[in-house]
Structure 1
Amino acid sequence: MAAVVTRISVAGDRPYDVLVGRDLAGDLPALIEGAAQVAVLFSAPLRARAEMIAAAAGIPAVLIEVPDAEAGKTVDVAAMCWDRLGERNFTRTDVIVGVGGGAVTDLAGYVAASWLRGVRWVPVSTSLLGMVDASVGGKTGVNIAAGKNLVGAFHPPAGVLCDLDALDTLPADDLLAGLAEVIKCGFIADPRILELAESYTDSAVLRELVERAIRVKAEVVSVDLKESGLREILNYGHTLGHAIEKREKYTWKHGHAVSVGMIFAGALGHLSGRLSFDVASQHRAVLESVGLPVSYSADAWPELLSAMRVDKKARAATLRFVVLDGLAKPGILSGPSEELLARAYAEVAR
């Protein structure tokens, strides 16, 4: 019996499908039809999977190993990749594949977006975070000293492969980090996710969580690719989360930082009079139930506030936060007072 593959369509000027299932390497050739060669970007722990993907492509391949996790998302690493493409005479008909978590696929997408002003690319996500967040929506980028993802491009992929086989061997901490982005989708759009997350124990429920989270993101980015409006809601919990990541020099996992950021966002929504105490409290209950962090150092607040002022969602000197007006009712809070922000952070620091 053939394995079941779920196809989730992402609409827009350049529509594509996200494939969720097992043993998806055989689906790659259809996504890269017409390419003369492929470059496969991967980190060292995923060499065997990258070699399998390269073989499945059925065309000449160059394997490009990059540093693991956020260490690979730098301009220097991107430049190394460009040099390798130059050596191989990569043309506009060729294709780049990123095999790994969100950091590797962000890098691969950015290299593809910038090489010859844009070549085809395919993310092959091997982490839960990558499947439900980084690989869907066409946002690509690298980090610089001033902050995370400040250099990048919107460059939709030719398709996305979310091979659930990769989750079977994913370290528990990485799976947990990905759950934060799944839970975020529950708060902003699909409350059923919150019920499933609190009780999930098997791969069937995990698959449903993956598919539900991808559908949330697909619906949003289909309407708003370039974050001009609706797409901002996907940044729920991210403003403080990114500031924590920067302060920790990216040694914290993205999902862990976003988890703390959601506690802050829930408190901000409640203290601004937009969200009930019950829903604000639900943030802590759900995130704690799966084992995600819900607090951070009180002493860090001045540094975090400074970092948030460089956030991509800020407009001029005005800070903007995604908050909730109710469960699955996201909105924007613009220009909150420093006193309100400090009170909300007190909920994180307790």
Structure 2
Amino acid sequence: MKTFKKITLILVAIVALTMVGGHFYFDRKFTPPDNYLSVYHEAENVPIQWNVTDKNPYSAMFLQVNLKGIEQPFFMQIDFGSPVTLFYAKSLASVQKMYPKLVMPDIMQNQVALQFSIGKMEVSSGSFQLINYGEKLDFSKPDAINIIGTIGTDLLEKRITTLDFKHNSCSFTENLPTTGFVDFEFKKRRIILPARLQNKNLQLLYDSGSSNYELITSQEDWKNYRNKGGRIKTEKGNSWGNPLKVITAPASQTIQIGQTDMALTEVTYVEGTSAMQNFLMRSSGMEGMIGNKLLLNHKLILDCKKEKFSIE
């Protein structure tokens, strides 16, 4: 599953930092490329389209986008676990077949020159990354959710971003009042939010591409946070071929993120990672990961240039 792959990637990065010369390895391997986006104007109150599954009505977030010169609407996932905005080669192959003069991916270089709009905001680059992902698109249905790519955190460097989960909308603006904002870390375009739980200060990775779990943490902290005797749910996961076990239990905690208190109703940990990886995860200073599920009744505002945020 995507969430577990990201956790493993983080663990690998932490291991690299502890090796001789690990700092330089980390910089080469995990530092994102330069921000190649050109962004003009703003987008306000753009509706969020949720991907609904049998198990989760909020499994992924999408925004409608329009490619320059094409009336057909498309969608891109809001995935702030990705440090770059990118497109899916398999999906763009369908678009290219329909509009060969407007979409011309460079398969050899794994990049494409495009301009797309979100509301009134225009985003363009001569070198969007392409990945071997996606599927054949359905142009026969006007209401089809044709997904062509991922919106990453490079866009957050260009605009202040508001995810309004109360009203299922998203905005990208140039200026906002900063009253009530607090500091967060934006390391290598990763969003690390300060939190407090059981009188303990935490640093939590926020990944908008994940909605299945409220808080993923270590087994030791999972034991402290969960309700004793509560019903435990176990699921199977897979990370690059390695089997994982995902254990979730009910909780009755209050977690403070920034200056906002929120109800933490469940907590999760993952089995299958090594004891050394778990130790390195804790010693790195990052104590877990949150997705959208914890924020569904709130509004999150991120000013990544100034490294300030608020939750309402």
Shorter-chain TM-score range: under 0.3
- Give the TM-score, by structure 2 length: 0.26
Q: By percentage of residues, which structure has more strand?
A: 2
Q: By percentage of residues, which structure has more helix?
A: 1
- Give the TM-score, by structure 1 length: 0.24
